Amino acid sequence: MKGKYRFTRLAAHPNRLGLAVPPHLEGDNIICDLTPVVQQFSQLIMSSNSYIWSRAGHLQSYNQKEKAQQNPMRAIKGDESPLSYLQAAVCYRELQQYSYYKDMQWDSQRILDDQYIDKMTRLGLWPFKKMIRSLDPIFFYDPLHHPVVIFYTYQSTDGESIIKHLHRFDYEGYELKTHSRMIASNDESSFIWNRIGFN
């Protein structure tokens, strides 16, 4: 892991408040401009003459020069700092809430870090065993120099669980591939705790 940075969960939250984002509406004829979703993040901007739209549950970016529908993340630019990649990973998840692939459990408030877990443990509210490894959000470059962001979220559907979210960005720009998987459940009978760092 090259260039590793560790963040708090607060760094992953949208940090430009007061911007009105569209409601999560569903329907065949609903079209909404998702530019305000991107504008919630201080290190991200929309590319010149580009727009991101949700059209009846399909996310598209539109460039006035190219006149083409593209991956929505292609319309986003940033300063290429570790924080910008963390924000882009969260922004991607926020944009997905306007698509058919929305995650009903997604909320940036569900992102975990060690300080938050310690606080919940002291209050007797942490439903999992003691951790051995950190669950702070992290950024690093993989061996092919692709930016990577990993963060963990707490889920409460069908019991309580921790989900690992991996985001691997293209070598240039903010297009990405994602992978999510459950790494812990409070149902001990269905999980081998030592494999993911709990004891």
Q: For 136-147, write each residue's pLDDT tens digit.
A: 999 999 999 999
What pLDDT score does 102 carry?
Answer: 81
What pLDDT score does 154 carry?
Answer: 92
The residues near 104 (Cβ < 8 Å, ≥ 6 apart) are: 157
Beta bridge partners, 63, equal 50
Residue 196 pLDDT more than 60?
A: no
Rounded-to-integer distance, Cα 186 and Cα 199, Å: 13
- In the chain, pLDDT over 90 holds for what percent of residues? 51
Q: How far is CA 98 from CA 72, 158, 179, in A?
A: 12, 24, 19
Tell me: the pLDDT tens digits for 25-66? 666 667 888 999 999 999 999 998 888 988 877 888 888 777
CB of 15 closer than 8 Å to CB of 83? no
> What is the mean pLDDT of the segment spanning 94-100?
89
Confidence of residue 99 (pLDDT cuts 50, 70, 90): confident
Q: Which residues of 121-160 are buried (b: 16+ CB within 10 A; e: fewer)?
A: eeeeebebeebeeebbbbbbbeeeeebbbbbbbbbeeeee
CB of 89 closer than 8 Å to CB of 149? yes
